[in-house]
C-alpha cells in the first residue's frame, strides 16, 4: 500500500487515531496485552505513521500531537495505559469492566485523584465550517411517471426516482456492489462524484451514510434486503445517533425465485420495524415507489423501502399521492364480505384473488398497505368493521415481525382476529409462482382462505 499513498493516504493525512492500549478486555487480558511493538508494526504495515507513548504522561501526549503536524499520512498514537490507574485496589485488575465501584472504593478513588475539585479546562475549538450539503439542495426534481398497466419492477422505479433526485446536489448514493440489480447504477452514471461504491461491505456502507448526513448530505444506501442483516447493528446505532438516512432493500421474499433462500429478504421488515423511530415502506407499483422515494429524501430518522425484483402492472395514475402512514383501497364497496391486505407482490395476488372471489359472489376489499410503519390503523379497522372482522393479510416475508404482525397489533386493540398468510418454512430455489404457491401466499390460496372464513 505504501506505493499508492497518493491514491488513498493523502486524503487521510489529517487523520489521527489514538489507541488506548490498557491490556485488559471485558473477560480478561487482550491478545497482545502491552506488546506495543506488535501494535506499531500492524499500523505501519498499512503505511500509517505510528507513535508509541506513555498514555499517562500528558507531556508525551502533547508532544505526539505536535509531531503529527505536517505528516503526509494518517497517524496512530499508541498510548500504553493502566486500567484503573490511581486506585491500587483495582489498578490493572481484571473483572472490573462495566462495574460501579462500591461506596468505600469510590471515596478512595476520589481522594487518590486529588479530592473533589471543580477544575474546568476550555480547549480551543475549531472554526465551524459550512456543512457540505447545506447550501446545495435547491435543484428542481421531477419524479418519473408511468402508464397504468405497464409492467415495471419497483426496484427499477426506485432507481428512476433516485436519478431524478440527483438534481439535488445534496443527494448521494452508496452501493454494496449490486448497483446493476438495485438500479442505483443509473444515478452513478449521471452523478459519478456523488456515487460511492462500498463493495461487499454493508456495515461500512451504512456507517459512511451516517457520516455523510452529518455533513449535510441526504444519503441513500442500497443493497439486497437480505444483506442489510449484516449491518443491523450499524442501523440500530444510526437510530441511537438520531441520524437521517434512507435505505433500500431489493430482491425481497420468495418472489425472487431462482436465487434461493440465501438471497431472499424474509426478515428485513421485522428488523427495520424494530428500529426506534424508523419508517418502513413497501410499494406495490412503480408510481407509489417513486412517490415514496421522493418523500424519503427529506424525512428524519432511519427510512427503509422494500422493493420487488419482478415486474408488475402499474396500478395508479402518476398524480396519485401516497402519504407516509396512509394506505390505498384498490378494490371495494360499502358491503364487502372480506378484507384482503397486501403489499408488494402479495397486493397483486390479492387483486387476482378478489377477481376469483367475485366470480363466486364474494365481495373483497383490497387494501394496499404501502406504509408498514407507520401503518394506517383507521383504514384497517374500517375494513374490519365493514367485513364483520373477516381480515386476511398476505405477505412475502416470514410470519414474525412483518406486515401481518403490524396489522394484528392494530386489530388486537379491538379484539379482531386476523388470518395471516406468510412464509413459514424454509423456501427453495425455483420458479417464483411455484414458490409463492408453496408458501401459501399465491392468489389461489388467498381466495380459498377467503372462501373458508366467509363460509362460502
Give the residue numbers marked as catalytic. Answer: 202
Q: Is 314 exposed, middle or buried (0-12, 13-18, 19+ CB in 10 A)?
A: buried
Cell of 309: 425484483
Whose CA is closest to 175, among 189, 408, 1, 167?
189
Within 8 A by CB and 6+ apart from 437, the residues are: 444, 445
Is the distance from CB of 2 to CB of 45 less than 8 angstroms? no
**Alpha-carbon distance 144 to 162, whole Å?**
10
Phi/psi of residue 102, nearest 5 degrees: -65, 160
Q: Using alpha carbons only, how large is the chain's radius of gyration in Å?
A: 28
Cell of 89: 485496589
Is the distance from CB of 173 to CB of 185 less than 8 angstroms? no
C-alpha angle 165/166/171, rounded to 5°? 85
**Alpha-carbon distance 405 to 356, whole Å?**
26
**Alpha-carbon distance 17 to 180, whole Å?**
36
C-alpha dist (Å) from residue 431 to 310, 344, 435: 12, 18, 6
**Alpha-carbon distance 54 to 58, whole Å?**
8
Amino acid at each position: 500500500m505504501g506505493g499508492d499513498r497518493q491514491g488513498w493516504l493523502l486524503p487521510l493525512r489529517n487523520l489521527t487515531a489514538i489507541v488506548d492500549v490498557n491490556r485488559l478486555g471485558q473477560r480478561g487480558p487482550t491478545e497482545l496485552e502491552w506488546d506495543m511493538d506488535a501494535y506499531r508494526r500492524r499500523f505501519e504495515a498499512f503505511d500509517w505513521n505510528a507513535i508509541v507513548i506513555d498514555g499517562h504522561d500528558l507531556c508525551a501526549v502533547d508532544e505526539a500531537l505536535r509531531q503529527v503536524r505536517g505528516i503526509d499520512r494518517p497517524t496512530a498514537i499508541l498510548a500504553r495505559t493502566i486500567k484503573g490507574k490511581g486506585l491500587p485496589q483495582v489498578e490493572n485488575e481484571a473483572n472490573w469492566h462495566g462495574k460501579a465501584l462500591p461506596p468505600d472504593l469510590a471515596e478512595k478513588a476520589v481522594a487518590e485523584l486529588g479530592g473533589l475539585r471543580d477544575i474546568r479546562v476550555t480547549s480551543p475549538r475549531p472554526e465551524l465550517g459550512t456543512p457540505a450539503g447545506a447550501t446545495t439542495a435547491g435543484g428542481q426534481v421531477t419524479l418519473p411517471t408511468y402508464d397504468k398497466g405497464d409492467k415495471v419492477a419497483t426496484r427499477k422505479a426506485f432507481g428512476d426516482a433516485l436519478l431524478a433526485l440527483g438534481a439535488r446536489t445534496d443527494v448521494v448514493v452508496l452501493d454494496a456492489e449490486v448497483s446493476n440489480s438495485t438500479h442505483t447504477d443509473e444515478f452513478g452514471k449521471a452523478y459519478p462524484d456523488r456515487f460511492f461504491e462500498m463493495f461487499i461491505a454493508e456495515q461500512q456502507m451504512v456507517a459512511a451514510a451516517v457520516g455523510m448526513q452529518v455533513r449535510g448530505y441526504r444519503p441513500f444506501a442500497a443493497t439486497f434486503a437480505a444483506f442489510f442483516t449484516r449491518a443491523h447493528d450499524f442501523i440500530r446505532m444510526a437510530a441511537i445517533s438520531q441520524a437521517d438516512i434512507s435505505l433500500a432493500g431489493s430482491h425481497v421474499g420468495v418472489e425472487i425465485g431462482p436465487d434461493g433462500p440465501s438471497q431472499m429478504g424474509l426478515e428485513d421488515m421485522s428488523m427495520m420495524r424494530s428500529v426506534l423511530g424508523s419508517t418502513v415502506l413497501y410499494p406495490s407499483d412503480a408510481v407509489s415507489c417513486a412517490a415514496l422515494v421522493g418523500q424519503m429524501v427529506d424525512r428524519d430518522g432511519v427510512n427503509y423501502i422494500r422493493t420487488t425484483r419482478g415486474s408488475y402492472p402499474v396500478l395508479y395514475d402518476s398524480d396519485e399521492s401516497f402519504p407516509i402512514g396512509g394506505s390505498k383501497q384498490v378494490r371495494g364497496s360499502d358491503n364487502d364480505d372480506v378484507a384482503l391486505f397486501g403489499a408488494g407482490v402479495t397486493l397483486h395476488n390479492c387483486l387476482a384473488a378478489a377477481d376469483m372471489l367475485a366470480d363466486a359472489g364474494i365481495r373483497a376489499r383490497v387494501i394496499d398497505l404501502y406504509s408498514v410503519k407507520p401503518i394506517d390503523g383507521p383504514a384497517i379497522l374500517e375494513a374490519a368493521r365493514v367485513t364483520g372482522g373477516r381480515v386476511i393479510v398476505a405477505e412475502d416475508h416470514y410470519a414474525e415481525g412483518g406486515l401481518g404482525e403490524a396489522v394484528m397489533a392494530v386489530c388486537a386493540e379491538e379484539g379482531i382476529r386476523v388470518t395471516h398468510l406468510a412464509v413459514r418454512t424454509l423456501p427453495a430455489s425455483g420458479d417464483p409462482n411455484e414458490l409463492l404457491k408453496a408458501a401459501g401466499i399465491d392468489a389461489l390460496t388467498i381466495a380459498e382462505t377467503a372462501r373458508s372464513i366467509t363460509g362460502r
